[in-house]
Chain A
Amino acid sequence: MNVELLVNQLVIGITIGSYLALIALGYTMVYGILELINFAHGDIFAFGFLFSLTVLQFLNLEYPLSVPQIISILGPVMVLTMLAAGLLNVFIDRVAYRPLRNAPRLAPLITAVGASFALENLFAIWKGPSQIFYPPYVPRVDILREWLGIDTIIGFSTTDLMLLIVTIPLMILLSVFVRRTKLGKAMRATAQDREAAAMMGINVERVIMSTFFIGGALAGAAGMVFGLYLNTGRYLMGFEAGLMAFTAAVLGGIGNIAGAVLGGYFIGIFKALSDLYLPSEWTRAVVFAILVLVLVFRPAGLLGQATQEKV
């Protein structure tokens, strides 16, 4: 076993894990409050990809961009994408889930699948059904080999760095938000006891709306970063990413924010390692196998709390 090769796959795993974690957070936050699996969440990720691409194409830029351009152009486009993705997620909640707030749990699950199909078809109309090219606005330079002159097979490029620079601070920001701010605490309170939250004067519907917005914004950011990183996507890309991110959320313990991040990295690394030994068509099978194993042997996930309410 070659150590450098292993480290190389680990780097890939951490990069993939970073955007998966960002998507997984949206699944877990919505589940935490509504016990609803937002099947359309993966499609919000795809929306982030498509929307940011459309804006960038409209700006008609020459790529690759310089560092000041990356900050002054890609930065605001990312903010805009997050805003749009957040609003789209709020809209989906309004249309597909909110009217069913007090219906049996199966009902919003069905509308979730419906919302996902609807989005995917809209995406196919928007950008066509074939593979979509996302221009390499961020130049890809191999940092270790080209800049530092280290002779290694470990690849760590500027696009890897970009991905980490965007995703990790977002995760830290979310964690601080949820732990420290008034709205963040209200979200946790609402997730733990919706009715008691209302008794505290918390407007539960507004908290739910904020949750959808934040989860959507994170997925939107992940979609844009994914485009800049891989330079390719497809209208159905949300399905696969969503499946992996959902598995990450379940693996970490659905409803648990730290668990979603941990699960994201776990799945990312797992995928990178599986790519080393198995053809990449197997990734989906491997991820599904993990999902099934977790659900059977550890349904509460790695960090999931056993529901321990005092009577």
Chain B
Amino acid sequence: MAHNGTREHMLELRNVHSYYGAIHALKGISLTVDRGEIVTLIGSNGAGKTTTIRTISGILHPREGQVILEGRDISRTPAYDIVKLGVAQSPEGRRIFPRLTVLENLEMGAYTRNDPQGIAEDLERVFELFPRLKERRNQQGGTLSGGEQQMLAIGRALMARPKLLLLDEPSMGLAPVLVETIFETIVEINEQGTTILLVEQNALMALEVAHRGYVLQTGQIVLEGAAKDLAASEMVRKAYLGEE
């Protein structure tokens, strides 16, 4: 990945602390994502991966530290404005609107946009990536299978034509074949020019497609580096790749 020292990062978290009431979920996270990268965030259950995503997207605001998007502090920016700035997400648990059709779900993804032409193009692109969604476009979101809902959640995020795509466990609950497909699609989306921050339980797969990665443990980053190096590191192999 080309690192341009003079250019700012696409996304930077500086010493971010996030809380749920009294629960201190993120204890000083610092990370960067550069234009064109796939960066992965791995860690076990409850490490704070989803919290990090929620803090970036403004659903949660950090109590301390900054979230900086293209040089601009968005720590206090409301979630709906952050989408306008070019950050979209496929959230944990998919969060499909169950009683909107597939097509309406996708339209909601494009909510902040006002270019019907571009929206129509992106709809075609999403249908190309996920032909299954095209077949089911008039079906209610809640009636889709888990895998189809995952495709819809990713497709819906793409409809925002984001600069930065946040994916929270896109492979969760999917059959192995489908996991392959989803990861191939992630690479394809990235190659088409979208920067991606990928949260995954499936560390092996995530490190295979990512350029760089961070390992999160109880709200802190304990390891970071090139994806290859992380995959080779003893700590990651033991903790997350299930090796003895």
Residues of A in contact with B (beta carbons under 8 Å apart): 182, 185-186, 188-189, 192-193, 195-204, 305, 308-311
Contact = CB atoms under 8 A, between A and B. Distances in A.
A188 B100 contact: yes
A202 B146 contact: no
B127 to A, nearest CB: 19
Contact of A193 (B80, B95, B149, B160): B95
B98 A310 contact: yes
Nearest to A197: B108
Interface stretch (B7-15, B27-35, B83-91, B204-212): B83-91
Contacts, number: 75
Contacts of A202: 80, 108, 111
Contacts of B156: 200
Interface of B: 57, 59, 78-81, 83-84, 88-89, 91, 93-100, 104, 107-109, 111-112, 142, 146, 149, 156, 160
Contacts of B80: 198, 201-204
Given A197-B108, A199-B79, A199-B83, A311 B93 contact: yes
A185 B107 contact: yes
7 contacts: A182-B107, A189-B97, A189-B100, A196-B97, A200-B108, A201-B81, A308-B98
Given A188-B100, A199-B59, A310 B95 contact: no
A204 to B, nearest CB: 7
Contact of B99 (A192, A200, A311): A192
Contact of A200 (B81, B109, B142): B109
Contact of B98 (A185, A192, A197): A192
A182 B111 contact: yes
Contacts of B93: 311
A187 to B, nearest CB: 11
Q: Nearest 6 CB-CB pairs, A to B? A: A201-B83, A201-B112, A196-B95, A198-B79, A200-B108, A203-B80
Nearest to A186: B111
A218 B107 CA distance: 27
A309 B83 contact: no
B82 to A, nearest CB: 8
Contact of B59 (A185, A193, A195): A195
Contacts of A189: 97, 100, 104, 108
B100 A185 contact: yes
A207 to B, nearest CB: 10
A200 B96 CA distance: 11
B59 A198 contact: yes
A203 B79 CA distance: 8
B111 A193 contact: no
B83 A310 contact: no
A200 B98 contact: no
A201 B84 contact: yes
Given A201-B80, A309-B142, 14 more contacts: A185-B100, A185-B108, A196-B95, A197-B108, A198-B59, A199-B59, A199-B91, A200-B111, A200-B112, A201-B81, A305-B99, A310-B94, A310-B96, A310-B142
B57 A199 contact: yes
Contact of B111 (A192, A201, A310, A311): A201
A198 B96 CA distance: 13
Nearest to B101: A185
Interface centre among A188, A199, A201, A310 (most CB of B within 10 A): A199
A204 B97 CA distance: 15
Given A204-B80, A309-B98, A310-B149, A196 B91 contact: yes
A304 B156 CA distance: 27
Contacts of B81: 201
Nearest to A185: B104
